[in-house]
Structure 1
Amino acid sequence: MYKDFFELLDLERPKLHKVREAVIAGNHTLAAIEFIEYMRNRSVPVFYEGWDNRKINRSYDTAEADKVCKRHIVHVDVGDDIDWKMDPHHDPEWKYCLNRHEFLTVLGRAYWYTGNEKYTAAFKELLVDWITKNPLPDVDWMLKIPSAQSRGYFMKEGNWRPISAGIRLYTAWCPCYYHFLNSPEFTPEFNIKMLLSMVDHARYLRRYYTRHVDYFHVSPNWGLMESNGLAHMGILFPEFKEAEDWRNTALSRFEEQTRMQILPDGVHVERCSGYHLVCTFCILQITELALRNGFRVSQTWLNGLEKMIDYVLYLMKPHGVYPMLSDGDESDVIGERASYGLWEDINNLNMLEDSNDLRYVLKAGARLFNRPDMLYAATLGKQGQKPAKQSAAFPYGGFYVSRSGWKNDDYYMSINCGPLGVYDQECVHGHADALSIDVSAFGKTLIIDPGRYMYEGPFRIWFKGTAAHNTVVVDGKDQSQLADGWKFKTMAVPTKRVWCTTDNFDYFDGSHNGYERLNEPVTHRRRVLAVKGQYWVLVDDLVGEGKHKLELYYHFPENAKINIDDRTAKAIARYNDDVCLSILSCDNHKSDMNVYEGSENPIRGWVSYDYAVKMPAPELCRSLETEMPARFTTILVPFKGNQPGIVCEWIEENTLQIKRDGKIEVLILSGGSGKRMHYGDFEFDGECIFAQMSADGHLTRCFSAGSSYISYKKEVILDSHGGMKIENCEKKL
């Protein structure tokens, strides 16, 4: 073993002269001793922030590490003779998590802060057991067969899936090497045994690389995580002859991946909030490691990374919570860790400065790009500078975020109007959630995307389906038809028609064609007006042929209590801390309203904040069966204390009148023809007008989207010469 190992080293490096002399003398035992002393005393390369300044903390909580010492790993008693291919939960993700070795990093942190050698002993036993039972497989045959067969091996069979090998290195093995290196129990022999297996990992990742579209035909985040593991080996272990090749190859792959996987607006190509955060962390981590050690990354790489963090910044809710859109778990910037899934949980455990992925991404972005607004979000306004804008659009990703501000109580809504994901990879992490929303106010999530739960079983189908999202279901079918728990056989194509934003109002107009596949086709169009800090108006139009069953869903967190008043067509959601949400129906037709919670047959009313953890949570369903066209109109009003008095009605086909607090407000939706049209006292040529008036009809404020001309009672409010369209117009009169 010793001889084979030293042949891998570049013994001509000046500081390895003692190792070289011992090898030349044939004293490999001495060479192993000299090599570990060299590794313990070298000052470069530089690992992440904090690794050069170990601080003993005797009060560090070692409860989780103590469980690992007793072989309670990933919530299962695995026993002394571990079967590394076991699947006790009938979920391959558990096995994948077992073989990613996050639990080793738990031991590493316990040793780092306490110095207790029992954690070194447990680490050595577990790592040697894994290395012994999981030798590098012979997988040359995979390159010679159809991709569907090789994909099956990597997806379901091997503990050497390329993504798992990459994650093992950068999440567990590399940080653990630094955690335990100075332990007296980290012997020269064990040092070489561990490094030999790490070399196997690097060579394997060097050869088997999952590009965005490649023979494995899998999710594109694989390539980033594989390259991250290879980059760690190439940067942190320059003593190996192959290290320069590993490093250059990995950084080249990152350059390729950042161009392939980051959309022009910064959204990750899979369009999932969770995988966006994972990939942002992955790119950011290796960026910092490369720059700290003097290796260049391109400006294109950096520009894309900054845009990715921008998306994280604006998607995060005012109270510091990051939503779980498509396959994702809820994260927040408050806790020690961003999320707490039972498994399938790739947490940031090799950043000693902060083990919260979300907070680390924002803080690192702040220092890397000199962005005090990112620091503001990471610290919930305690440091940094408030972002310059409130609302934001990410048109390539298909996400639109409306907010009234950046304080804890401010109002927030995200709207999904983008593709399912990577179409040529069958959108495996996408959900059938076109035009769905996520809402918060007063420091709480009020309407929620329920999450993903698990990647196997009937609940997987429900969490991916349209009925598990805050949008309209037609005839009980999903907008995009699932082929199985991963792939789609039909894919709805959303279209953003209008997005505009001002200080006091936001307006969105979008549609999708998912139900145009029906024998009697239907198109769903959703228009949203945000009266910032006060309420939202949602207008859902279903246009098509024939008679259909329509269901409009709203999902709530598990602590919400829903009360329905059939007489007023209103539902009230009540949360903790006296926070409430009024859900008011403004339609002329009568629809049924029902609440479901925690039903298993059929599956209805659940939420999952972390992988493999679900809990009952209320869902509100408004339903009716009617001829097309049809419309659902909803006003969402957050409040605390007394319930606001709001009355609304359609006084004309496209004119909604809202009365509240002695004032009259009117929302007028045009056909979008671009021609001047008369609607009551208004004449305009835009997409919509929202007007606020006193009780006597005096116009006090007017907002319009896409207008070049507006008049009220024949008084001109806006006249753009030459017919030029104004994207948005807001005037206080």
Structure 2
Amino acid sequence: PHAEAVVRVGDIRLVYLPPVKGPRVNDEDFFAALDLDRPGLEAVKTAVTAADYAAARSALLSYYVGRQTPRYYRSWADRPAEDKRPASYNTSAADKVVAHLLSSCGVAHQFGERIDWSINPTKIQYAEWTWQLSRHPFWRTLVDAYWQTGKEVYGKEFVDQMTAWVEDNPVPVDSAGNGVGSRWRTIESGIRTGGVWQDCFFRMLGSPVFTEDAVITMLKSFYEHACHLRAHPTSNNWLAMEMNGLFHISVLFPEFREAAEWQSYSAGRLYEEMEVQVYPDGAQVELATGYHGVSLVNFLGTYKIAKHNDIELPGDYMQRMERQYAYYMYIMMPDGRMPALNDAGWGNVRGSLSSGFSYFPERTDFQYLATSGRQGTMPDFTSHWMPYAGWAIMRSGWEADDLYMHFEVGPFGAGHQHEDKLSMIASAYGRRLLTEAGIYAYDSSAWRRYVLSARAHNVVMVDGMEQYRRGKREYYLNAEPMSNRWLTNDLFDFAEGWYNEGFGPKRDQTVTHYRAVLFLKPECWLVWDLFSPADDGDHRYDTVFHLNNQDATLDEGTLAVIGADPDVANLAIVPLRRENLTVDIIKGQTEPEVQGWVANSTRDEDVSPAPTPIYHRQATGQWLEPWLLYPLRANEKLPVSAVEFDKQTNSCSITLADGRKIVAAVTLGKDAIGEVSIKSFDANGTLSKTAVAK
């Protein structure tokens, strides 16, 4: 308002409004939402016409108990008879749920007689705890125990919790409900109605404890969920979960008048999303390896329930998923895991590739990687460039001991982003060697801010400032494939990228950082950092590496930092231009800022210290900083005996302990290196290999 505006307030009255209970939809509106002309609903229609809703409820329950189609994967009729149940069944998990000891995000809480779904008992007020509690995974635990033991205490507890949840958490009105503390975020709404709620509903039908009132309550809530999801779609992996939930409701409850439109809409959105949300190179646009799987699982969930009920999906729906499975093949590390990019962990991808092979049986390369080479066909490539994601994956082969590097030069991502452009992750000889801080709980702690920051990755800080792409949406996505150089052959791989989006909160663009990586197969990596300032001033460059080690040592002569864990592979970081270069190894620092840690999980303060070499350089004008990353086998000593750098020719000479020598020279352009020339000499000084990357 205007500074001189006058606001007059009239009488104020405080009026008590009793809390609204769910479901909001009453019997009259609920039955009006059903297509009562469908075969089988004749008795329901007769009762509704007579406004006898008690009879209508009873008739509707009988209809669902007797309905044969559509079908969920499991039905109440499949419930084991007493003589078919296991002789013993471990009910300890279900007993905790009966006692109202519920867990969310790995944190358990003891509730009282009635569960308060709105609370947050975590000491850091971790918002995900409250949200994810209403995904209700423990309801399936109760139904499992009921099926396997026949004890009604478990079935009744599910019914009591479900009806209390619906009553205590009415659907938001004219709101997506995506705020802190909500039990109706669209992501949870899609997750539970695309899985747990359907499973529990159809397995509990026909049980005496799943009473008429409970069934009608849950059906009303399904209807409210569908209306909520239809009204408030979002984007990215959330949209995949929302539409999967809406599609499940539309398929399994075609009695709703709007079901056909829900089905057409949700299937169409998901079909479109596989083009909107997935790049042509197979990467989901958030560029978070874990959330790639979230979207894929929900695209797949819709396909599976459609196929189960003989429902056709648009066009080449299933074929569009092939590249999403191929993605796992491209990025897979030698240990079968995926790199923890953005908000993702080091998840195992073999299961995803096994799933991919089941849907695409001609992809025997998926089978090969899913079975660790025991079956199938080895992929006909090793290294790979993903031009939309901006990921260069370099590998020496497909065995567990092979060398691997993931080098990212692409956009920020559509969501769950970290400040990590030009970062590298490397593994060799059966172990991840160059790592990063990983993923932490989605809270506001210093740990969370750390894992999001550039300093938690293997990048460079300029003048004490970190990368700062967050908030500039033009940095989030690639509309076209990147034209960065990518070269791959039997001798080497070469990839390059630029960071020119600005450092610090003001996005200072004085300095452009260029990084190129050359993989000398199958031995080591050469890295060139080129700093090109737009002024003549003095600048500071802090180059950060995170070692996957308990300890690391510094070789004072070469300034090399070497992982020092015994009996396992380690990495040597060897600077090739040592004049006036200094280094600190930070480990487990909390002040003045968090540094030198890796997160073990998303749980509160589940972190471990990690040796983090930070090299410091002061320079004026364009500056080339070359590095050698040399993986060492278990207990192997660094085989580098001498390093020389010629600043006139920008060439590095690396002499190895066995007498071999590697000479790498580059030409410099405005903000990039031009030609790279590599010469390898044997112990006799004879030129053995030569390669040029132009």
TM-score range, shorter chain: 0.7 to 0.9
**Residues 480 and 492 in structure 1, CA contact (< 8 A), matched pair in contact too:** no
* Residues 1:636 and 2:633 aligned together: no
Which residues in structure 2 correspond to 1:471-550 (within 5 Å)?
Answer: 471-480=459-468, 487=471, 497-515=484-502, 521-544=510-533, 545=535, 546-550=537-541
The Cα shift of 1:617 comes to 2.6
**Residues 413 and 476 in structure 2, CA contact (< 8 A), matched pair in contact too:** no
**Root mean square deviation of aligned Cα:** 3.3
Q: Deviations over 1:449-481 (max 9, x none)?
A: 322312222322221111000111112211116
Which one of the candidate residues 644, 650, 654 is aligned to 2:650?
654
**Residues 453 and 463 in structure 1, CA contact (< 8 A), matched pair in contact too:** yes
Alpha-carbon distance change, 639 to 67 in structure 1, aligned in 2, over 3 angstroms: same
Identify the range of structure 1 (43-52 vs 651-660) with the bigger mean alpha-carbon deviation. Answer: 43-52
**Residues 166 and 221 in structure 2, CA contact (< 8 A), matched pair in contact too:** yes
Alpha-carbon distance change, 493 to 196 in structure 1, aligned in 2, over 3 angstroms: closer
* Residues 1:605 and 2:599 aligned together: no
Alpha-carbon distance change, 189 to 466 in structure 1, aligned in 2, over 3 angstroms: same
Match of 2:358 in 1: 367
CA distance in 2, matches of 1:259, 1:223: 13
CA distance in 1, matches of 2:615, 2:298: 43
Secondary structure of 2:385's partner?
Answer: strand
**Residues 418 and 454 in structure 2, CA contact (< 8 A), matched pair in contact too:** yes
Which one of the candidate residues 421, 424, 427 is aligned to 1:437?
424
* Residues 1:310 and 2:317 aligned together: no
Which residue identity lines up with residue 161 of structure 1 in the other structure?
Answer: R
Which residue identity lines up with residue 564 of structure 1 in the other structure?
Answer: L
Which residues in structure 2 correspond to 1:327-342 (within 5 Å)?
Answer: 327-333=343-349
Match of 1:420 in 2: 412
Q: Deviations over 1:361-388 (max 9, x none)?
A: 4333222223222233333334433322
**Residues 511 and 523 in structure 1, CA contact (< 8 A), matched pair in contact too:** yes
Match of 2:7 in 1: none
Which one of the candidate residues 179, 199, 222 is aligned to 1:175?
199
Q: What TM-score, normalized to structure 1?
A: 0.79
CA distance in 2, matches of 1:492, 1:23: 53
**Residues 314 and 401 in structure 1, CA contact (< 8 A), matched pair in contact too:** yes
Q: Deviations over 1:314-349 (max 9, x none)?
A: 22212121222112233125xxxxxxxxxxxxxxxx
CA distance in 2, matches of 1:382, 1:20: 59
Alpha-carbon distance change, 584 to 62 in structure 1, aligned in 2, over 3 angstroms: farther
Q: Deviations over 1:592-621 (max 9, x none)?
A: 332323332221122224323431231423
Secondary structure of 1:244's partner?
Answer: helix
The Cα shift of 1:223 comes to 1.9
Which residue identity lines up with residue 507 of structure 1 in the other structure?
Answer: F
Match of 2:98 in 1: 69
**Residues 562 and 574 in structure 1, CA contact (< 8 A), matched pair in contact too:** yes
Match of 1:340 in 2: none
* Residues 1:563 and 2:558 aligned together: no
CA distance in 1, matches of 2:573, 2:63: 67
**Residues 580 and 617 in structure 2, CA contact (< 8 A), matched pair in contact too:** no
Match of 1:104 in 2: 139
Alpha-carbon distance change, 552 to 686 in structure 1, aligned in 2, over 3 angstroms: closer
CA distance in 2, matches of 1:526, 1:466: 15
The Cα shift of 1:436 comes to 0.4
The Cα shift of 1:202 comes to 0.6
CA distance in 1, matches of 2:454, 2:373: 36
Q: Deviations over 1:599-654 (max 9, x none)?
A: 32221122224323431231423332412333142323231233241243324633
Which one of the candidate residues 257, 264, 282 is aligned to 1:248?
264
* Residues 1:274 and 2:290 aligned together: yes
Match of 1:145 in 2: none
Which one of the candidate residues 387, 400, 416 is aligned to 1:395?
387
Which residues in structure 2 correspond to 1:26-37 (within 5 Å)?
Answer: 35-36=60-61
Alpha-carbon distance change, 576 to 6 in structure 1, aligned in 2, over 3 angstroms: farther
Alpha-carbon distance change, 627 to 581 in structure 1, aligned in 2, over 3 angstroms: closer
Gaps of 5+ in 2: 1-25
* Residues 1:238 and 2:254 aligned together: yes
The Cα shift of 1:22 comes to 7.4
CA distance in 1, matches of 2:385, 2:76: 39
Which one of the candidate residues 230, 244, 247 is aligned to 1:228?
244
Alpha-carbon distance change, 128 to 490 in structure 1, aligned in 2, over 3 angstroms: same
CA distance in 2, matches of 1:314, 1:609: 25
Secondary structure of 1:389's partner?
Answer: coil
The Cα shift of 1:99 comes to 2.1
Which residue identity lines up with residue 156 of structure 1 in the other structure?
Answer: V
CA distance in 2, matches of 1:300, 1:22: 44
Alpha-carbon distance change, 259 to 578 in structure 1, aligned in 2, over 3 angstroms: closer
Alpha-carbon distance change, 136 to 627 in structure 1, aligned in 2, over 3 angstroms: same
Alpha-carbon distance change, 383 to 129 in structure 1, aligned in 2, over 3 angstroms: farther
Identify the range of structure 1 (397-406 vs 63-72) with the bigger mean alpha-carbon deviation. Answer: 63-72
The Cα shift of 1:179 comes to 4.0
**Residues 553 and 619 in structure 1, CA contact (< 8 A), matched pair in contact too:** no
Which residue identity lines up with residue 69 of structure 2 in the other structure?
Answer: V
Alpha-carbon distance change, 452 to 696 in structure 1, aligned in 2, over 3 angstroms: same
Which one of the candidate residues 393, 400, 408 is aligned to 2:400?
408
**Residues 551 and 621 in structure 1, CA contact (< 8 A), matched pair in contact too:** no
Match of 2:377 in 1: 385
Q: Deviations over 1:673-708 (max 9, x none)?
A: 9xxxxxxxxxxx9732333332334333333334xx
**Residues 664 and 694 in structure 1, CA contact (< 8 A), matched pair in contact too:** yes
Secondary structure of 1:610's partner?
Answer: coil
CA distance in 1, matches of 2:329, 2:600: 20
Identify the range of structure 1 (95-104 vs 14-23) with the bigger mean alpha-carbon deviation. Answer: 14-23
Match of 2:665 in 1: 668
Alpha-carbon distance change, 272 to 209 in structure 1, aligned in 2, over 3 angstroms: same
The Cα shift of 1:49 comes to 9.2
Which residue identity lines up with residue 160 of structure 1 in the other structure?
Answer: W
Secondary structure of 1:637's partner?
Answer: strand
CA distance in 1, matches of 2:130, 2:508: 43
Which residues in structure 2 correspond to 1:449-464 (within 5 Å)?
Answer: 449-457=436-444, 458-464=446-452
Alpha-carbon distance change, 306 to 490 in structure 1, aligned in 2, over 3 angstroms: closer
Q: Deviations over 1:384-418 (max 9, x none)?
A: 33322212111111111112222222221111111
Alpha-carbon distance change, 490 to 118 in structure 1, aligned in 2, over 3 angstroms: same
Match of 1:196 in 2: 220
**Residues 272 and 328 in structure 1, CA contact (< 8 A), matched pair in contact too:** yes
**Residues 2 and 192 in structure 1, CA contact (< 8 A), matched pair in contact too:** no
Alpha-carbon distance change, 492 to 311 in structure 1, aligned in 2, over 3 angstroms: closer
Which one of the candidate residues 116, 119, 139 is aligned to 1:86?
119
Secondary structure of 1:192's partner?
Answer: helix
Say which structure is richer in strand.
1
Match of 2:614 in 1: 622
The Cα shift of 1:576 comes to 6.8
**How many aligned residue pairs are there?**
641
Q: What TM-score, normalized to structure 2?
A: 0.83
CA distance in 1, matches of 2:294, 2:356: 14
Match of 1:701 in 2: 689
Match of 1:596 in 2: 586
Match of 2:153 in 1: 118
Match of 1:582 in 2: 572
CA distance in 2, matches of 1:318, 1:180: 44
